[in-house]
Amino acid sequence: MGKLPMRARVATTLGGAAGRMSRLAGRGDGSVIGGVIGLRVEPGLLSLLAADRQVVLVTGTNGKTTTTRLITSALSALGQQVASNAFGANMEAGLAAALGAAPEAPYAVLETDEKYVPSVLQATNARVVTLLNLSRDQMDRAAEIWLVARRWREAFEAAPDCRVVANADDPLIAWAASGAHQVTWVAAGQRWHEDSWCCPRCGSHLRRDDLGWRCGECEFSRPSARWVLDGSSVIDSAGRVTELSLALPGRANRSNAVMALAVAEVFGVSPAAALQKMRSVTSVAGRYTQVERDGRTVRLLLAKNPAGWLEAFDVLDPARAPVLLSVNAQVPDGRDTSWLWDVDYRVVRDRPVFVSGERGLDLAVRLEADGVPFELVGGIDEAVSRVRPGGTLDVIANYTAFQQIRTAVGRAA
Amino acid sequence: MGAHARGPSNLRLVWVYPDLLSTYGDRGNLLVLERRARLRGIGVEAIQVNADQPVPRHGDIYLLGGGEDLPQVLAARRLRTDAGLAAAAAQGSVVFAVCAGYQLIGAEFGGDKGQPVAGLEILDIRSGRGERRGVGEILADVDPELGVPRLSGFENHQGVTRIGPGARPLARVLTGVGNGDGTEGAYAGRVLGTYLHGPALVRNPALADLLLSWAVGTLPPLDGEYEAWTARFREQRLAAVPVG
Ligand SMILES: [Zn+2]
C-alpha cells in the first residue's frame, strides 16, 4: 500500500512510534496508543489504511478474538500477509493500529466492537462482516442488544457490496443479517436462549425444535444454512462431512471454526486448507492456555457474560477437577454484577470450587443460593495450593480478573 | 391475606414474563425469595409464566423484572389484555416490580420511541423518559413505616417517575437517581416497585423478608451460613459506595 497520502503517512509513522514507546514503557502491546495518536492526526486514517485491501470484520458478543484468530490463520493459506488486531483492541484506534502495522498486507481480519460495526463498515468498505451471536453483556455501558441489531441491519442495507456471514441459529443475528444484500448462513448453534425468546421482527414467541426456530406469528424463521456445525464435524455446502479436530476445546470454538470456514470460502480457501491452518491454533490471547504452577497444571478460561460462562462450563475438565471462579467489576468488566444471577452454577456442584476476585462476595452469595459448596480464597496461588500436586486447576474468570491471573501465573506459556 | 388465607398449600411465587422482562439477573429475586422462605420451613412453588401463557390469579407474590424498551411495551400490552396480574393485585397478592416492570405497573410509561404507553394501573405512578441515563450504584433510605434498612443496589434506566396521591415513595435517594425527584421507588398496599434493577433483593434481604411477611405473616429471623455471606456482601457494598 504505497499510496497513502502524506497526512496518513505521518499519522501512521507517529502512531507507530507511539506504539513502540508504549511497548518499551511496558504498557500493553502498544497497539491502541499508536492508533489513538494516528487518528488524532488524521481522522480518516482508518479508511485510508483500509483502501485497496480486502477487509473482514468479526463481531458479536462472544468469540470475537478467537474467531478473528481462526480466520486469520485460515486466510494465511493464501500465502500472503494478513493484518489483524490479534489482541482484541477492537475499537477504531486498535483497528487503525493493526492496519498501520502491516502496510503491505492485502488482507485484513479485524475484530470489531459491536457498537462500532456501522462506522467501521463504512470506513473500511469491508468485503465480509462475520456475525457470531448477540446476548446480554456489560449492560451498564453497552447498548441494548435489540438496538445493536437494528443499527447493524441499517448499516448492511447501505452496503450492497458487503457479504455478511451470519449465524442462522441466533434469531437476533438472523434478523440483523437479513437486511444485507449478500448473506452466507451458517448453522453455528446457539446454546444461550435467554435473550431470544421473542421474534426480533414482531415480538411474538419463537418456537424451537431440532430444525431451529420460527416465529409463531409472522413468517420469520431460521434461514437454511450453507454450513452446518454437527457435533464435532462440519457439513459443507456440498454435503461433505469433515471432522473439525481443533486444538481449541469446547462447543463454542467449534462454532467459531465453522464461521471461519464460511469466511475462508469467500476468499477461495477450501475447508481442508483452512482447517489445516486452524488446527495449529492452541491458545488465543492467553485463553485456553495451560501453565505449570507449583507442580500443578492451571488452565485459563475467559468468560465475560452469562452466555460465555455457559460455554466455559462446557470446557471444564471432565474428571471433576477443581475450579477457581474469579470475578471483578472494573469498567472493562461492567460495573454491575447482576449477570451472575443469569448463570446457572449448579453444574459445578460436584467438584471443589474456589472463589476469588474483587467481587468474590457477590459470587459467594450467588453460589450459596444455588447450593454449591465453595471456598473463598485470596487469589490464584491460594487456590493452586489447595490442589493436590500433579493435579489440574481450571480457572474461569471475567475480563480484568483473567488478566490479573494471567499476569500472576506468567505470560510465558 | 396472611398465612391462614393461604391455607396449607405452598407459597406461590409467580415470575411474570421472564421471556420479555428479564434483562440482567432478575432471576435473583425469585431465588432469594424462594431460599429465604424454604430456610424458614415454608414450602415454595415457583411458577414462571411466559408471555404466551395466561397469568395465574392465585399467586402469593408476583415478580416483574427489567426489560428493553420494545419488550417492555409488548409485556404491558399483553398483561393488560390478560388482566390476571391486575386481578391478583386487587385481591391483595404481593407484587414486586423492578425497573421496566416498575414502570409498567403504573398508569403510563415512555415507550421505545418516547411515546406514552398505557400501563397496568396497579400502582399510582406515571413514568416518562428523562434527559440522561442513570447508571450506577444507588443508596436510598426506606420510608420508616416499612422498617427496612438502607437500600443498596444498581440502577440502569432513563426513566423519570412521578408518584400520585395513591402511592408513597419507597425511599429517599442518598446516591443515584431513582425516580428523578430525590425519591426512589413507590409502594401502596402490597404493591412495591423500585428502580434497583436485577437481583435487588440479594443486597436487601430485609426487603425480601418484608415481601414474604406480607404474604405469610410474621417471620422468624434467619441465621446460619446463608445469612453470614449475605451480611458480608451487603456490608461490602454499603462500604464501597459513598453517600451523596
Ligand atoms: Zn415474528
Q: What's the CA gap between A11 and A5, in Å, rounded?
A: 10
Cβ neighbour number for residue B20 with a 10 Å cutoff? 28
What grid cell was written down for A321? 477437577
CATH of domain A290-409: 3.90.190.20
ipTM above 0.90, yes or no: yes
Q: A20-39, pLDDT tens digit by residue? A: 545 544 444 556 666 676 66
DSSP E strands in A113-195: the ranges are 128-131, 163-167, 182-187
Task: Say what the pLDDT of residue A402 is.
Answer: 95
Name the pLDDT band for A372 (thresholds 50, 70, 90): very high
- Residues near B90 by Cβ (< 8 Å), separated by ≥ 6? B122
Q: What's the CA gap between B158 and B128, in Å, rounded?
A: 8
Which pTM was predicted? 0.87
- Domains present along chain B, CATH in parentheses: 4-239 (3.40.50.880)
Evaluate whether A81 touches A106 at the Cβ level (below 8 Å): yes
CA distance readout (Å), A138 to A306, B23, B165: 10, 11, 37
Query: Would you call B197 a catalytic residue per the annotation?
Result: yes
Query: Would you call B157 a catalytic residue per the annotation?
Result: no
Q: B36-91, pLDDT tens digit by residue? A: 999 999 999 999 999 989 999 999 999 999 988 888 999 999 999 999 999 999 99
Q: How far is B166 from chain A (nearest CA, A)?
A: 31
CA pseudo-torsion sign A145, A149, A151, A155: positive
What grid cell was written down for B19? 421471556
Q: Which residues of B are less than 8 Å from A305 in CB distance? A: none
Name the DSSP letter for residue A158. T
C-alpha closest to that of A361 among A349, A382, A339, A376? A376
Name the pLDDT band for A142 (thresholds 50, 70, 90): low
Instruction: Pick the residue from chain A with its C-alpha nearest to B29.
Output: A341
Domain A44-278 has CATH 3.40.1190.10: yes
Contact A342 B156 (CB under 8 A): no
How far, in Å, from the CA of A218 to the mean position of ligand 1? Answer: 4
Contact A139 B225 (CB under 8 A): no
Q: What is the mean pLDDT of residues A172-177?
A: 97
How far, in Å, from the CA of B39 to the mean position of ligand 1? Answer: 43
Q: How far is A146 from chain B (nearest CA, A)?
A: 8
Contacts of residues B179-188 at CB distance under 8 Å and 24 or more positions apart, as own/partner, are B180/B130, B180/B134, B184/B138, B184/B140, B184/B151, B185/B102, B185/B140, B186/B102, B186/B123, B186/B124, B186/B125, B186/B161, B187/B123, B187/B143, B187/B146, B188/B123, B188/B124
Higher confidence at residue B192 or residue A2? B192
What grid cell was written down for A128? 465480509
How far, in Å, from the CA of B120 to the mean position of ligand 1? Answer: 25
- In chain A, which residues touch B (CB < 8 A)? 136, 139-141, 144-147, 194, 197-198, 203-205, 216, 335-342, 361-362, 364-366, 368-370
Name the pLDDT band for B23 (thresholds 50, 70, 90): confident
Amino acid at site A205 = H
- The residues pairing with B212 across neighbouring beta strands, listed in sequence order, are none
How far, in Å, from the CA of A182 to the mean position of ligand 1? Answer: 22
Domain ranges (residues) in chain A: 6-42, 44-278, 290-409
Q: A39-56, pLDDT tens digit by residue? A: 665 668 899 999 999 999
DSSP E strands in A200-344: the ranges are 206-209, 212-215, 227-230, 233-235, 241-243, 290-293, 296-302, 323-326
